[in-house]
Amino acid sequence: MDKPIFAGNFTQQEPIPEAGIEAAMAVLRSGRLHRYNLAPGEVGEVSLLEEDFAAFTGARYALAVASGGYAMGCALRALGVGHGDRVLSNGFTLAPVPGAIASVGAEPVFVETTEALTIDLDDLETRIATSGARTLLLSHMRGHICDMDRLMEICDAAGVQVVEDCAHTMGAEWDGVPSGRHGVIGCYSTQTYKHINSGEGGFLVSDDAHVMARAIMLSGSYMLYARHTAAPPADVFETVKYDTPNVSGRMDHLRAAILRPQLADLPREVDRWNALYAAVEEGLRNTPGLQVIERHPKERIVGSSIQFLLPGVSAPGIRAILAACAARGVELKWFGAEEPVAFTSRYDSWRYTPAQRLPKTDAILAGLIDMRLPLTFTVEDCRLIAEIIRDEVIAAQPQAAE
Ligand SMILES: *Cc1c(COP(=O)(O)O)cnc(C)c1O
């Protein structure tokens, strides 16, 4: 009997909702694309989106910007992180995270990774003590949220400010608190492969008026900050407007227009993602040689991608499994490859940062496999994908042991 093959496309997103397309057409017809180009009395799509996003996260203030990477760099600048400062971050994350740290002239100090793919909190304590760093850029990489109660205890006790990278946790929660609301600033991305899609884009949220006023000035508000409606009062800007540089990275009305209906739909999409995730997880569970990543009961996840470990499988063994899955239409990424490929790079490929060794992270990344779950997949698709992976992992085992 022929082996079943999966024919779906792992990078195909759903279309922009019709309401977003209509709103975008209205912006195009108006000719007013710049966020501060407003008709008399008009609030504009960008400020409306910021109001929506503040409500969505429960934050006092929100700022929409040009990308998730920009949001993180802007957050660090707004906190006064600069040249020569050290910033703690996850050893397992994506390139824009160390990039944001480097963009302000600071140096990343990477922290080890647990088998749950979260930051290692014991190692974090050690590195806070040894590095002297007073800022943590915490990456909820691939949506895995660490014990946020313990993390905040550690950081608060040491006077470490926390910025959260929520590129993969927009819509997720820890113990009922939206992801991005534990630290002083939460950063999000609206890039095509995240949870809402404007091609490029991002957000910062915060309850801190002074920090948000600085972020708004930094993002390129000129002296037009009073046109923001999810912003601190004007008198707060008086204290920062002469000494905050303009590092333009604004959002425009066109992208805001296509994001607003998607944000309104996000809670429903989260349920759809989690149904796909559950189907793959269930299909993979109890596969000999394959370890699913157990999720913490306090985590409310957004299953837009799934990871698993192949502990003890050799590099050639993993390559063979990936090739066999690819031949059956299942596209897997591997964080253990010696050369960075596509979106997947590792802390040791970011050679502009001071060299560091993270043996625990290395051991995990060596067997870490990653797969996207776009909403264009069905639960049936996900069952088939899991079956294919399971077959190929089992089939490869005698080979890998040779
Ligand atoms: C995508 C991503 C970002 C930032 O995204 P942009 O592409 O700059 O919008 C930040 N962190 C992680 C972990 C990401 O995957």
Mutate to test the pocket of ligand 1, among 65, 166, 185, 189 (most ligand atoms within 8 A of CB): 189
For residue 344, list its beta bridge partners.
Answer: 341
Residue 391 confidence class, pLDDT cut points 50, 70, 90:
very high
Residue minimizing CA distance to atom 14 of ligand 1: 167
pLDDT in tens, 202-214: 999 999 999 999 9
How high is the pLDDT of residue 340?
A: 85
Pick the range with the lowest mean pLDDT from 26-35, 130-139, 348-357.
348-357
Q: Where are the domains of the chain?
A: 18-261, 266-401
pLDDT in tens, 302-331: 999 999 999 989 999 999 999 999 999 999
pLDDT in tens, 174-185: 999 999 999 999
Report the share of the chain in percent with pLDDT over 70: 99
Once rounded to an integer, what is the mean pLDDT over residues 215-242?
A: 97
Which residues does 354 contact at the CB level (< 8 Å), separation at least 6? 107, 108
Index of the ligand 1 atom closest to the CA of residue 139: 13
How high is the pLDDT of residue 211?
A: 98
How high is the pLDDT of residue 398?
A: 64
How high is the pLDDT of residue 1?
A: 64
Q: List residues near ligand 1 (CB under 6 A).
A: 67-69, 93-94, 96-97, 139, 141, 165, 167-168, 189, 191, 202
Is 7 a residue whose pLDDT tops 60?
Answer: yes
> How far are the Cα atoms of 87, 239, 337, 359 from residue 362, in angstroms, in the given order?
21, 46, 11, 5
> How far, in Å, from the CA of 203 to the mean position of ligand 1?
11
Report the share of the chain in percent with pLDDT over 90: 95
Is 402 a residue whose pLDDT tops 70?
Answer: no
Is 401 a residue whose pLDDT tops 60?
Answer: no
**What is the topology classification, in CATH, of domain 266-401?**
Aspartate Aminotransferase, domain 1 (3.90.1150)
Q: Which amino acid is at 139?
A: S
Once rounded to an integer, what is the mean pLDDT over residues 11-20?
A: 97
Is residue 194 within 8 A of residue 186, CB to CB? The reply is no
How high is the pLDDT of residue 302?
A: 98
Quote the pTM value: 0.97
> How far, in Å, from the CA of 65 to the mean position of ligand 1?
13
Alpha helices, H only, 132-252: 148-158, 209-218, 234-238
pLDDT in tens, 245-304: 999 999 999 999 999 999 999 999 999 999 999 999 999 999 999 999 999 999 999 999
pLDDT in tens, 154-164: 999 999 999 99
Domain 18-261 class in CATH: alpha beta
Is 399 a residue whose pLDDT tops 70?
Answer: no
- CB-CB neighbours of 385 under 10 Å: 28
Index of the ligand 1 atom closest to the CA of residue 343: 15
Which residues does 392 contact at the CB level (< 8 Å), separation at least 6? 321, 324, 325, 328
Residue 228 confidence class, pLDDT cut points 50, 70, 90:
very high
> How far, in Å, from the CA of 68 to the mean position of ligand 1?
5
Secondary structure (DSSP) of 136-160: EEEE-GGG----HHHHHHHHHHHT-
How high is the pLDDT of residue 400?
A: 45
Residue 344 confidence class, pLDDT cut points 50, 70, 90:
confident
> How far, in Å, from the CA of 143 to the mean position of ligand 1?
12
Helix (H), strand (E) at residue 61: strand 61-65
Closest CA to 284 of 325, 232, 239: 325
> How far, in Å, from the CA of 188 to the mean position of ligand 1?
8
Is residue 189 within 8 A of residue 213, CB to CB? The reply is no
How high is the pLDDT of residue 64?
A: 99
Alpha helices, H only, 64-181: 68-78, 96-103, 121-131, 148-158
